[in-house]
Amino acid sequence: MLGTSNRSSLHSLLRGSIIQQILRKAGDVGIDVHVIARKPDRKGGAGATEGD
């Protein structure tokens, strides 16, 4: 299981992210990756999960 980073989008753009590297390598070796989006919290932002 992998999660999002607290790094800025600019940092990920300039340096790349571990998640991007894993997704790229998984595709190269034939591993399927399933992405599950988070439900928005009551304030409209991302982050709430089932049962919160």
Q: For position 16, what pLDDT does the model report?
A: 77
Q: Which of 19, 25, 24 is nearest to 4 (CA)?
A: 19
Q: For position 52, what pLDDT does the model report?
A: 47
pLDDT tens-digit map of 1-51 = 777 667 787 877 788 778 888 888 998 999 998 877 777 777 755 554 445
pTM exceeding 0.85? no
Angstrom distance (rounded) from CA 52 to CA 35:
20
Angstrom distance (rounded) from CA 45 to CA 4:
14
